[in-house]
Structure 1
Amino acid sequence: MSAVQEIFDYLKASKLFYLATVEGDQPRVRPMGAIDVFEDRLYFQTGNIKNVFQQMKANPKVEICTMGPEGTWIRIQANAIQDDRLEAREHMMDANPGLKNRYAADDGICEVLYLENAKAVIASFTAEPKVIEF
């Protein structure tokens, strides 16, 4: 199993993760749920009319965090890189059909971003952390 697939499976099992960005000197955190693996990269989705997108354009450094099974949690540090190819947006929409209620791959609003230079740490109170770079 690839590192990207392992991280995807962890996030997908959690159903919801929290994405942190920075706006000026203030951290901003929000829940997210749409993720996808495309071309062996981990992608997430948002709209370009949202503050989160503008924050990532100004500073691509993000952190993702969620709780997993059996008392573990994951933190991922990465750069969020916009992919404005239609096929990347279509793949995301197909993988997350619930998005189709709010977005279309070609609506001019839907944006997909992938994680680059990512480092994930899966931790718990009972075991040594597992570090995965992808």
Structure 2
Amino acid sequence: MNEVVNYLRTCGTFFLATSEEEKPHVRPFGAVCEFEGKLYFVTNNKKKVYQQLKENPSVELCGMSKGTWIRVSGEVKEDDRREARLAMMNENRQALSSMYTVDDHLMTVFYFVQGEATLYSFTEEPKKIQLD
């Protein structure tokens, strides 16, 4: 899991794909963390992406760094525990502190319940990492 989290951090910005009414929606994200062995990301529960995640938890992340790229696909679930939000804030304070506080009732974290990350390059075979 560390390898996946570290890779997404090196991307700086990665993209999350959701769907709504069978139409894809892709948007940039930038904060991830590992908590209790799971891959987490954060969003605002007032945004459309939040509703899309709740209605259809099948997602895919994609990011690129230094001529390689990662694709993470699977099913996500909201974690409403304060400890999970605190872990996210502690790992991403610089990026998140201007937007959220742990107890603001806006900051919401999701984690991959199950899924697979695949690291790709033009010169090597893809490397698969199970998230469950």
Verify: 1:83 aligned to 2:83, yes or no: no
State TM-score, norm by structure 1: 0.93
Match of 2:107 in 1: 110
Query: Which structure 2 residue ranges, 5 or more long, are not aligned?
Result: none
How far apart, CA to CA, are the structure 2 residues paired with 1:125 and 1:53?
A: 34
1:57-72 matches, within 5 Å, as 57-69=54-66, 71-72=67-68
**1:132 CA displacement:** 1.0
SS at structure 2 position matched to 1:101: coil
SS at structure 1 position matched to 2:97: helix
Percent identity of equivalent pairs = 46
How far apart, CA to CA, are the structure 1 residues paired with 2:24 and 2:82?
A: 30
**1:117 CA displacement:** 1.1
**1:121 CA displacement:** 1.1
Q: CA RMSD in A?
A: 0.9
State TM-score, norm by structure 2: 0.94
**1:115 CA displacement:** 1.0
The runs of at least 4 consecutive aligned structure 1 residues that moved more than 4 Å come to none
Residue identity matched to 1:125 = F
How far apart, CA to CA, are the structure 2 residues paired with 1:116 and 1:37?
A: 13
Verify: 1:22 aligned to 2:39, yes or no: no
Aligned length: 130
**1:94 CA displacement:** 1.4
Match of 2:34 in 1: 37
How far apart, CA to CA, are the structure 1 residues paired with 2:32 and 2:8?
A: 8
How far apart, CA to CA, are the structure 2 residues paired with 1:106 and 1:19?
A: 24
Q: Which structure has greater helix proportion?
A: 1
Kept after mapping to 1: 8 A contact 2:18/2:26 = yes
**1:12 CA displacement:** 0.8
Match of 2:88 in 1: 92
